[in-house]
Amino acid sequence: MTSRVLVINSGSSSLKYQVVDAVDGDVLAVGLVERIGTTGGVISHEVGGEKHVLRRDVPDHDAAMAAMTEAFVSHGPQLETVGLIAVGHRVVQGGEEYERPVVIDDNVVRVVTELVDLAPLHNPANLAGIRVARAHFPDLPHVAIFDTAFHMTVPPVAHTYAIDADVARRHRVRRYGFHGTSHAYVSREAARLLGRPPAETNMIVLHLGNGASATAVRGGESVDTSMGLTPLEGLVMGTRSGDIDPAIVFHLARTAGMDIDEIDDLLNKRSGVLGLSGRQDMRDLVAAAETGDTAAMLALDVYCYRLRKYVGAYTAALGRVDAVVFTAGVGENSAAVRARTLAGLEVLGIELDAEANAATGRTARDIALPGSRVRVLVVPTNEELEIARQAAEVVNR
């Protein structure tokens, strides 16, 4: 019995894929189809340490899936003989309907389609990937793994917005949370690093990529998370504002004459550290701040101050915190962000080891001082492996 899964992450203009072994984490191939729907498509396919790049227009997701299968035929591994047990699909919004992964049938497709209103940017692209993959691989079970599922344990006190209850119910307005696959994987790996059962471990997981979210994890379950109805709420991100006074929206509509789509675009695509400094990439931002660029310095401060506030808030929510865990591009790599975020938090029992923090590494590690009551961990995330594991668990059940 093999345990290989084809993992598909289908976005509106890109399709990422991996063939990964759900048991040993071995990656047999990894690829990316870019610029779907425009001209100048690029397909990169990596296998055995070698990268093959093909340039060709990819007008739609059907063409992207065809390009992917061709890459497997040309460069291997051959998908018929590799022993695939499932195709695992990342789906952003599973609503209240899905607390765990599910084998995709027509009914699941219908429910995910109904949830498009809640995730208009993401679910249609995920559905496009599901549709073409089911057509290309009709004999394999397809499993949907939802970004929101891990957060379905968040209790009402933390997922309820204090607005008119009827309006909220009718329009499904509540905190859903996102990045759940990453938070699930990282919190489990963090407990392993601490040598404790997840069920007895409390932690604050900071997933800091282009999008960023904080999650309070109690006993292995999400009990609060910073993203909300959409991925806009919470932390300051690459291009998203995170928390703001909601009345800023009314103010801009009334005084700047901006319409809803313009404000949506402003807060999602032109805010965050990009809006503050003109730089989206954390490497550029830190470098600019170090040369004394005042806009970059402020952006970095605002980014880290927001993180600090969430660490404080989730410490209060959890009561006892065993670890603060950093993950994703910024969390795994930026010693500057980690140091600025946690500086002065000794009062919460968090004491960072400056030397361990400055050391680079690709593996999970503890970077707190030996005597620190709360451990500080860096744990590389692996959403593809988590999707493969969850898909394998569903089909082997």
Please report, as ranges, the residues that interact with ligand ADP according to CB under 6 A: 209-211, 238, 281-283, 328-330, 333-334
Go through 319-341 and write b for each residue having 16 or more CB atoms within 10 A of its CB, e for each that does not.
eebbbbbbbbbbbbbbbbbbebb
**Least distance from C-beta 46 to ligand ADP, angstroms?**
16
Give the CA distances from residue 72 to residues 141, 143, 174, 195, 197, in Å, rounded to whole numbers and listed in that order: 19, 21, 42, 40, 39
Q: Which is nearer to ligand ADP, 208 or 395 (CB)?
A: 208
β 212-218/221-225 pair status = antiparallel
Q: Which pair of structure tokens corresponds to residue 355?
A: 């030397």
* 62 flagged as catalytic: no
**How far is the C-alpha of 41 from the C-alpha of 335, rounded, in Å?**
35
Spot the catalytic one: 60, 105, 139, 147: 147
Q: Which is nearer to ligand ADP, 146 or 303 (CB)?
A: 303
**How far is the C-alpha of 37 from the C-alpha of 58, rounded, in Å?**
6
Q: Which is nearer to ligand ADP, 41 or 211 (CB)?
A: 211
In the chain, DSSP assigns E strands to 4-10, 14-21, 27-34, 42-47, 50-55, 84-91, 102-103, 142-146, 202-208, 212-218, 221-225, 323-327, 365-366, 375-378
**Least distance from C-beta 209 to ligand ADP, angstroms?**
3
**How far is the C-alpha of 341 from the C-alpha of 376, rounded, in Å?**
12
- The DSSP 8-state label assigned to residue 129 in this structure reads H
**Least distance from C-beta 166 to ligand ADP, angstroms?**
36
Q: Which is nearer to ligand ADP, 281 or 293 (CB)?
A: 281
Distance of CA 59 to the CA centre of its chain: 27
Can you tell me whether residue 80 is helix, strand or coil?
A: coil
Q: Which is nearer to ligand ADP, 202 or 230 (CB)?
A: 230
Residues with a catalytic annotation lie at 147
